[in-house]
Every structure is written in C-alpha cells, then in structure tokens.
Structure 1
Amino acid sequence: MTHDDSTRPDQDTPATSPDVPGKETTVDDNRPLVALDIDGVLNPTDPKGRMRGRVPGWKTHRIFVDNRLWPDSPFINHDPRPRRQLPLVLNPDLHGPWITDLRTRGADVRWASTWPAVAANKYLAPLLNIEPMPSTLDTELEPHPSEHVADWKARQLLQAAADRPLVFIDDQLDHGDSDLWSSRDPNRTLLIETDPRVGMTREHMDRIDEFVGTHLNPPTRGTT
C-alpha cells in the first residue's frame, strides 16, 4: 500500500542523548569511507510521500533541537530562539539495518552533513536505531567566498579520504564543481546524487554495497 505521511500523526520525539563521538576529520586506515548526507538523503524533502512510491516504513517526526548545538555556519539558517522545531521523515527499517550492516562488515560510515555530529547522534541516530557515528566534516570550517556547500564538502572529503575508497551520497552533487573530484581514482570513488524528494533508495544502497564489498574483499592476485 502506498504510504502517505499525511495520514500519520506527527510525533513529538524526546531528545535522548547517547554518548557521541568527537569530531573526526582525518583518517589513517584503509577501510572504505562511506559519507552520508542527511537532508535529501536520509531525510527526504517530500513530507507527503508522493515521490517515494510504494516503499513502506517511512515515519514522520517533529523534533525540537537545542540551537546551541548548531555551528556558526552560512549553510545553516539561524534561529534566535533557544530551540528550533524540525520535521524529519525517516525510514529506520530501510536505512537503519543497512548502515549497521555496513559498519559490521568493516566500512567506515560517517555523517557528511551540515548537521554537526553531536546533533545527528542525539536526534537522528536513535530514530534510525543506529549507533552514534563521527562526522567526516568540520562543520565549523569557514567556506571560501561564494563557495557552494557541495564544494565545501568535497574539499573536506578529499582530504579526509586521501587515497582510500570513498563513497559520497548527497542531494546536491551536481551543484558543485566536478573538477574537484578529478584527482580521485574513479575505480576507488563512488559519487551518488539523490533526488531530495525521494532520498536514498534501495538501488542506491545496492550500488554502495557492491562498491564496499569490492574494496573490503579485493580479488587475490593469481586467482581466476
């Protein structure tokens, strides 16, 4: 049955806070790095669900976020009130077990969003039924003049990943400068742009699974 979020009452979600990892922007291992945006990827922008089709499991939430958690960033709309109300549309049945499985298999899964890790782990992780994750972005890093958020993210991801296998899934990739990614080995890089109204689909997840599996289990030399 097609799910329409307009038939589901909003839920006032309590802000339960687990211990959260600190900000991490550099890495020194060779695990595939999977960088996940939030808005437009895990949290689609079509709250009525008209674009998501016959995919079950979407749940609407209304959360109240402590504004002290947000960095002073031009990419974030600031609210002078102590708390801001944010609507979330999440699918813990679709995305939660998949994220957990990627991490269990050995991938290094991180947030790649303007959401700081402390806020993502306090509000989103419990709703997705996942353990807290670090961010691969420094949300307090000052952007270059007129820099688009896609390029601000790319600049940091390129440094954080170095020559590791990298997956980046975001809803604004095409808005950035594609030349920034030209230094990457295309065989070790998977860039996926989502439709922000739909978010990350099963097809996207399958592509990421295949890429991560290839780099977690590279073929042995001399085998056929």
Structure 2
Amino acid sequence: MAGCGLCHRTDDDPEIYGEMCRQDRICVHENCLYHATGMYQHGADDEGFFGFLLPDIEQQMQHVAQKICCICRKKGASVRCHNRRCSRTFHFPCGTERRCVSQFFGEYRSFCWQHRPTQQVQPLRQQHPQCVICMEEVYTRPSYNTLVCPSCRSAMFHRHCIQRQALSAALHHFRCPLCQETQTFKDEMLRLGIKIPDRDAAWELAEAFQELYERHSTCDTSVCLCPAGRQHSENMG
C-alpha cells in the first residue's frame, strides 16, 4: 500500500491522520495536508482534496523532499513550528508523537513541543482526579495529555478521550462532558489542538443507526418448530 506523500507512513487511523486521500498518483493524509507549511486551498471545496489542488500538492511534495524531520531525522518534513524564532520542522505524525500541537482552525498553525500552547487553568482540588470520560486516573494539573475545562475547572480528561468525543459530537454538539458549557470550552479545546469537525454529530447523520430500525425476521432458536421454516413471519410478528 502506498504511503502518504508527505509523511511517508502507510498508517490509516482517522483519529490521528484524518482521511487517507488517493487520486491518480497522489496519496496523502488529510491532516498532513492541512498542516503542511505553505500549502493553500486554491480550489473549490470539491476540487482536488478539500480544495487543495493536485498540482499544488505535487509541488509541495517536491519542495519538502529534502527537508529533515527534527524528530525522526528522515526526509520529507512538511510542518514547521509557527514560532518565528523556531526553525524546527517535522512530519505531522512525528509531531503528534513528540507532543507537538497542531490547531484545526484558522491558519491551521503548528507548534513544536517547546512552543506549543498550554493551559494556565488551575483545576479544582480533587483527591483522586479522574478523566470524566473513561474514569481512569489523570495528572493532577494540566499537561499535554491532561486537559481541563476552563469553565467549571472540575472536568479533567485525557487528550485522546476528548479528541474521540470531539470527532463524534462534532462542532454542533461538542461541549464539556461535565458542566455542558459550550463556547468557552470549544475555543479552549481548539486552541490546544483538538480537532472538532464542522458537521453534525455522528449520531445525527443519516443512516448512522439504520440497523436499529430493521425488523428481526429470522428465528434464532436452536430447534425451530414453525412449519413454514425459520424465515417465515406473520404481520404481527
């Protein structure tokens, strides 16, 4: 299987890499594309990949072909830290593993582990702090992997837990799992690099739970006594 033309990985985990886009000779991860420094959407939303035109993508691949990732030391680094005084360049997935932060709004800026945005929120004191999503232990104060709701300051969660929830709830339904505050919480999570898709929630999408409305039409007992067989069903069940 062909790897991403920017990070050269074949991994296909939507939670980390976004969609794997393939057309003609080009194969590239969605998140690698959005965060490639110097890439711009010159086309309409339905052109190329999300408005990124294929000639522009090919040109970007050639442009970064010799750039060395400061994390894995391999070529093809397309993401540069947004801090003006920092020259670190890395692959998008390498940055994720090294605890860099890439923002999914506005200019889609990326920051290395030294210059990434951090939380200054002081969480309310808890004897045994837990992630309000998975109920497993979290660090006692904000860190890369432990995020805090800026509104209630009681809700703490793992980065991967709140990211998973954001991908499911999406922009229209994403809120603090504990206090239910929306705007301040959403802005803070975006700033910290949580990807919140601009769409309706997964459970609201058409046919997302279509199987729940399907009528069961086969007898599952080990010995079916119906003379007409397992597939027979009358109007009333």
Is the TM-score greater than 0.5? no
Q: Which has the larger radius of gyration?
A: 2
- Higher RCO, 1 or 2 (CA under 8 Å, sep at least 6)? 1
With normalisation by structure 2, the TM-score equals 0.24
Bigger share in strand: 1
